[in-house]
Structure 1
Amino acid sequence: MGGGAAGGRQRFGDVLRSEWAKARTMRSTWYTMLAIVVVGALFGALFAGAGAREYATATAAGRAEFDPFGMTFRALFFLQLIVGYLGMRTVTGEYGVRTLPAGLVAVPRRGRMLAAKAVVCSAMAFVAGEAAALAVYLTGRAVLTAQAVPAYDVGQPGVARAMVGVGILMATMSLFGLALGFLLRATSAGLTVLVVVTALIPAMAPVFPAWLASFVVKYWPAQAGGRLVSVREQPGLLAPWTGYAVFCGYVAVALLAAFAAFRRRDA
């Protein structure tokens, strides 16, 4: 009996276990997950330190508006890039060493393979994201309290939701990276697009026309999704879950495009 026929009857659980085996045996997977936590802790401390200095020189009104959680969790900007890379490398790593064609012999149903990769990379990103959230929370809080600056506590309104939201947001960002991997099939090209989408375009918003700047600040993928990890409501911006839903819409479109490209291309 041919391998394609056998692979055609392969259950999703079998494909999922295969993708997990591939992911956990790659050293780069664990290095990337460790980097997510370490970078989170480092930048959490740095941003908390910057917030403490800002608080020390602020007016009474400025101190009343000070958001210690939002300041510290600016570290997530860097984590999004690493998590996007994690999802991307799930695909581009196999394209780079030409192991994907062999995988398709065993699993000819490409949608099943894509779905299994999506489950594995999003699960890893969620775990790494929650570990990073804890690292940012602890290091940032330690820096703020050491300098007698009001900090945050998990019992405060919105903090617990934002902490859980970090893992959810990172898992979803990994799926965006996964989609870029299937669409572009090269790490360098995928990273370029990832940086442009998550960092460059939002950074350039101040020089855009007013209508475009408003759209980017409110509805651009990283900005909309980032609302999930905000504690305070901000006038003119989306509510946390609304923003995350908008982000999911972008990711869903990217995954559908990735699936269409993956189906029609040769491996």
Structure 2
Amino acid sequence: MSDTSVTTRRPLADRTLPGPQERGRATFLHSLHAEWIKLRTMRSTLWVALGTLVAGVGLAALNGASAGGEHATLAPADQAVFDPLGTALKGYMLAQVTLALLGGLVITAEYGSRTIVPTLTAVPHRSRVLAAKGAVLAVAAYAVGVATMLAGFAAGQSALAGAGAPHVQLSDPESLRAVFGGALYLTLAALLGLAVGTLVRSTTATVTTMFATLLIVPAFGPALPGPLADWAAVYWPPTAGGQIVTGYRDPALLDPWPGLGVLALCVAVLLTAAFLTFRRRDA
């Protein structure tokens, strides 16, 4: 056999191993891109966004028309505390639920379909995965929130003006605070849903928890025993945060930004718990 027919193989140890770039190690930007694709292609995302917009605008228009028609018959004391902002932006009450459910679905849908396993296989850094989910969700929720609050404001104020009731303009500082602060409130509601969904890992349990937290407790809070009812009326996070969309200042309640701060603190605590749980619990 001639020497030219012999193929020389280098020992494995002598071969050049691929560097981090060649191995295609996942970065936070990769995680963001992946989570954006998941959110954009999830069938429920479009329906939730449209439902949020329709519910917010519809409730704002109905509430504005109803309150505007009754304004002339109110007692002078009630007319003095009439709140055109809070009346027109009542649609946030439904919008918060839909966006909170979207936040829960961002994580529970993956647990339900078991796609969470390949996700964590591709990106072993679990904190990076959850942070990317939260960042993408926050941007999407804020965009939907701004659109909902702006459209709801326009519909509600138009209904009030048509009924001859007091109304405000978007250029007013209070209006800008209510609209864009309201969008922040809706973003926090979505992140609250993500935190709860991460902790319970069940879509059904997340839906139940969000309805109870955002709607049932605020509605039935006054029926609680005295001191507990007073605490819930002031400090229950969704109730406190909801002051951001009001114009009338009730001295017994928190001001808009401190109220929103209470909700933000609650969401931060639950997200911290969600991060710790997500890192330690099996998929």
Q: Structures share a fold, TM > 0.5?
A: yes
| 2:71 paired residue number | 55
**Residue 209 to residue 26, structure 1, CA distance change in 2 (3 Å):** same
Provide the C-alpha distance between the structure 1 equivalents of 2:265 and 2:76, rounded to a whole number of angstroms. Answer: 41
Match of 2:11 in 1: none
- 2:240 and 2:158 map into 1 onto residues whose CA distance is 29
After superposition, what is the alpha-carbon deviation per residue over 1:158-191, rounded to whole angstroms, capped at 9, x for unaligned? 1111111121111111110001111111111001
Contact 1:157-1:231 within 8 A present in 2 as well: no
Q: For 1:204, what is the secondary structure of its paired residue? A: helix
Question: Is the counterpart of residue 28 in structure 1 residue 56 in structure 2?
Answer: no
Q: Is the 8 A contact 1:126 1:167 kept in 2?
A: yes
Q: How does 1:66-105 map to 2 (within 5 A)?
A: 66-105=82-121
Identity of matched residues, %: 39
- Work out whether residues 122 and 171 of structure 1, in 8 Å CA contact, stay in contact via their aligned partners in 2: yes
Does residue 1:247 correspond to 2:263, yes or no? yes
Confirm or deny that 1:123 pairs with 2:139.
yes
Unpaired segments ≥5 residues, structure 1: none
Q: SS at 2:89's partner residue? A: helix
1:187 aligns to 2:203 (yes or no): yes
Task: Work out which of the residue numbers 124, 140, 155 in structure 1 matches 2:156.
Answer: 140
Quick check: 1:150 aligned with 2:178? no
Given candidates 105, 109, 134, the residue that maps to 2:125 is: 109
Structure 1 position 60, deviation (Å): 2.8
Distance in structure 2 (CA, Å) of the matches to 1:97 and 1:199:
29
1:8–1:107 CA contact under 8 A, matched in 2: no
Q: Following the alignment from structure 1 to structure 2, what is the Cα–Cα distance between the partners of residues 45 and 65?
A: 20
1:163: which partner in 2?
179
Given the alignment of the two structures, is residue 204 of structure 1 paired with residue 204 of structure 2, yes or no?
Answer: no
Q: Does 1:18 align with 2:34?
A: yes
Q: Distance in 1 between matches of 2:144 and 2:208?
A: 23
CA contact (8 A) 1:7 1:105 kept: no
Q: Distance in 2 between matches of 1:95 and 1:142?
A: 44
Q: Is structure 2 residue 258 aligned with structure 1 residue 266?
A: no
Relative to structure 1, the CA distance from residue 261 to residue 52 in structure 2 (aligned partners, 3 Å threshold; closer, same or farther) is same
Amino acid at match of 2:107: V
How far off its partner does 1:131 sit? 0.4
> 1:103, 1:256 → 2: CA distance?
21
Give ranges in structure 2 of 5+ residues lacking alignment.
1-16
Answer yes or no: is the 8 Å Cα contact 2:69–2:165 preserved in 1: no
Specify the alignment match of 2:6 in structure 1. Answer: none
Between the two proteins, the alignment pairs up a number of residues equal to 264
Tell whether the 8 Å contact from 1:37 to 1:128 is kept in structure 2 after alignment.
Answer: yes
Letter in 2 for 1:242: P
Contact 1:40 1:76 in 2 (8 A): yes
Kept in 2: contact 1:51–1:72 (CA 8 A): no
Compared CA separation, residues 30 and 129, structure 1 to 2 (3 A): same
Q: CA deviation at 1:11?
A: 1.4
The 2-side partners of 1:8 and 1:227 are apart by 47
The residue that corresponds to 1:216 in the other structure is 232
| CA-CA distance at 1:21 after TM superposition | 0.9
1:249–1:55 Cα change, 3 Å: same
Q: Please list the CA deviations of residues 86-120 of structure 1 after superposition, one character each: whole Å capped at 9, or x if unmatched.
A: 10110111111110100000111100000000001
Letter in 2 for 1:210: G
C-alpha RMSD over aligned residues: 1.8
1:8–1:108 Cα contact (<8 Å) kept: no
Alignment-mate amino acid for residue 35 of structure 1: G
Query: In structure 2, what residue type is equivalent to 1:229?
Result: V
Q: In structure 1, what is the Cα distance between the partners aligned to 2:75 and 2:196? A: 45
CA contact (8 A) 2:85 2:245 kept: no
